[in-house]
Structure 1
Amino acid sequence: MDTPTVVSLLPATTEISTQLGVIPEAVSHTCDYPPAVKGQPVITEFDGEQYSLRESLLQDINPDVILTQSLCGECAIDSLAVEKKIEEMNLDSSIVSTHTTGTEDLFDNIQNIGVAVNRRSEAQSYVDKLRTRLDSLKTRTQSLAERPTVLVLDWIEPTMIARGWVPELVEIGGGIYDDMSQPPEIEEKDEWNLLRSVDPDIIIVAPCNYSIDESCKQLYTLQTMPEWSELTAVRNNEIYFMDGNHYVNRPGPRLIETARYFAGLIHPDRFNAPPSEVVRSISTVIQS
């Protein structure tokens, strides 16, 4: 079985490819997991405004497959930009673009990447394993009578409520994700007032690309927000700070673990608490 030369421009696709046994020859500057990719050449750059490819490295590698995404141009270089660059450089690379809005998209991404890197059977086995774990969790939570309301914050200032795959994971974890979503064209740029209106039982703070320590530092900003102390989750100490970078914002295989971590926060009497390197309660943060 021939193994193609792969370049991955997204942390999620790097995790998938590596899990299937194909370590990318080069990765993006945000790819930091699994440990096997640390030290791999970095092929993307970010100047604070836009992402770009290191053309000389791309030319030298001349990859058979490039893994990228088409969901968010603010989080990583998108597939259209990659296609344009490949055409300009006259490279004969196949582009596999992911677009994830839920767990079924994740499973499709794994299988599509598996086909592209000649690991079709490995991809199917991996999807079967992940699906079994997810179904097992669903079985445990679907009959729960008590389902607290939950919101996850993607950003603080301006306030952004996490959507995409996050509502599904919260629902699987035994919660209700009532974000009162508006059509994209009329969504508010700052959703703090929306959060106040929903007043969820539980708030999970997981800013985009923030580590657990960086997320915890957002407490001081949150405490200055209007009517912070009046929120139900604040009064009941149901505020949690989470490693958004690895477990919430990244649409890779570890989303299955995220659903289980959510379950541990939403139903602590029925599920194990998430590890402290992933989630910390507001009480723990205040005491530290």
Structure 2
Amino acid sequence: MRLVSLLPSATEIIAALGLLPFLVGRSHECDYPPEVKALPVCTRARLNAQQSSLAIDRVVQELLRAALGIYDLELATLQALKPTHIITQDQCDVCAVTLPDVQRAIADLLEPPPQLISLQPHCLEDIWEDIRRVGLTLGVAPDPLLTVLKERMRACQRRVSDRPRRQVVAIEWIDPPMASGNWIPELIALAGGENMLGTAGKHSPYIEWSTLLAIDPEVILVMPCGFDLERTRQELDQALQTYPQWQQLRALQTGQLYILDGNAYFNRPGPRLVDSLEILVEILHPCPEPKFHGVGWRPYVGPSMAKMSDEG
């Protein structure tokens, strides 16, 4: 087998199933496990990801309105790799190369055509089914992996079963603000929280600042798609200056606003969503020795708060 993965979550599924030796190409965003960074890159973005959140959103909307993809395939690289299987997605035009783009490319360039495996996750059950389908298609029994993942999830549920549920809003994009949908509401519920915005199994919706202020949740989780902790902190610092409404939020005033690594964990529909659940349990129902603190999440301390702390 010669596998090419065109999205990070698929690369992580391949690795978790023990198929990494067969992976010959990746997307430009595939970065875990770290050894995949040495593989040829088969995609590139049409936008500058170093722009502000607002600028990125505007470019994305312009590309979508023009019926243009946000990503391009490196066709020469793909042709040279001669994959037997390509794993792509048909869930989100913003997340990775779209299925129609891949279908057109292999029809024109590759002979014999590789087998396409297209992932379409909207909820946790979809993700487990994608893992099962990838394993069975590639000749690997998925049940041992799924059993371990689901037992870890059950352990999280047992830990919070007698804890009071906390009101939570998860933010998938800062400017303009979007609430987290898809599998995130399910993870919040499993971690002992009550999700206040966004619907399980549905795409993440844009929201108004007034909506967030009206709900004024106990806990706010900021997990922008594609951003790590440091980038999330920078964007949130800027949002606090641009939109002073944030200062009125109870979660900010009580130290219950958290930044999370949305790139590595929460927005990748693969095995590390169980790590994401464990992170949420640490946040909503703190334990004496958190496993992930400083890696996948940390409390947010804004510029003005840090200054007050230094002076006090």
TM-score computed with the length of structure 2 as normaliser: 0.83
Q: Would you say 1:107 and 2:128 are equivalent positions?
A: yes
Q: How does 1:34-49 map to 2 (within 5 A)?
A: 34-48=33-47
Mapped to 1, the partners of 2:94 and 2:176 lie a distance apart of 15
Q: 1:27-57 CA distances to partner (integer Å, 9 max, x unpaired)? A: 0000000022121000111121521111112
Mapped to 2, the partners of 1:233 and 1:246 lie a distance apart of 24
Q: Would you say 1:78 and 2:98 are equivalent positions?
A: yes
Q: Give the conservation status (yes or no) of the 8 Å contact 2:12–2:33.
A: yes
Q: Which one-letter code corresponds to 1:30 in the other structure?
A: E
Q: 2:178 aligns with which of 160, 173, 185?
A: 160
Q: 1:109-144 CA distances to partner (integer Å, 9 max, x unpaired)? A: 11111112221x2x2110111011111211222332
Q: 2:216 aligns with which of 193, 196, 199?
A: 199
Structure 2: runs of 5+ lacking an equivalent: 48-62, 64-69, 308-312
Match of 1:95 in 2: 116
Distance 1:59 1:269, change over 3 A: closer
Q: Give the conservation status (yes or no) of the 8 Å contact 1:209–1:244.
A: yes
Q: Would you say 1:14 and 2:34 are equivalent positions?
A: no
How far the C-alpha of 1:184 sits from its partner, in A, is 7.7
How far the C-alpha of 1:265 sits from its partner, in A, is 0.7
Mapped to 1, the partners of 2:297 and 2:18 lie a distance apart of 29
How far the C-alpha of 1:221 sits from its partner, in A, is 2.4
Mapped to 2, the partners of 1:175 and 1:270 lie a distance apart of 19
Q: 1:172 aligns with which of 169, 190, 201?
A: 190
Match of 1:124 in 2: 143
Q: 1:219-248 CA distances to partner (integer Å, 9 max, x unpaired)? A: 322323243222111121101111110011
Q: Give the conservation status (yes or no) of the 8 Å contact 1:242–1:280.
A: yes
Mapped to 2, the partners of 1:65 and 1:36 lie a distance apart of 20
Structure 1: runs of 5+ lacking an equivalent: none
Distance 1:77 1:107, change over 3 A: same
Q: 2:38 is paired with a residue of what secondary structure?
A: coil
Q: 1:95 is paired with a residue of what secondary structure?
A: strand
Distance 1:269 1:15, change over 3 A: closer
Which is worse superposed, 29-38 or 189-198?
189-198
Q: 1:212 aligns with which of 229, 232, 235?
A: 229
How far the C-alpha of 1:216 sits from its partner, in A, is 1.1
Distance 1:164 1:42, change over 3 A: same
Distance 1:130 1:284, change over 3 A: farther
Mapped to 1, the partners of 2:201 and 2:83 lie a distance apart of 39
Q: 1:42 is paired with a residue of what secondary structure?
A: coil
Q: Give the conservation status (yes or no) of the 8 Å contact 1:147–1:174.
A: yes
* Identity score, percent: 30
Match of 1:227 in 2: 245
Which is worse superposed, 238-247 or 51-60?
51-60
Match of 1:135 in 2: 154
Match of 2:290 in 1: 272
Q: Which one-letter code corresponds to 1:52 in the other structure?
A: D
TM-score computed with the length of structure 1 as normaliser: 0.90
Distance 1:183 1:280, change over 3 A: closer
Match of 2:83 in 1: 63
Distance 1:29 1:269, change over 3 A: closer
How far the C-alpha of 1:183 sits from its partner, in A, is 12
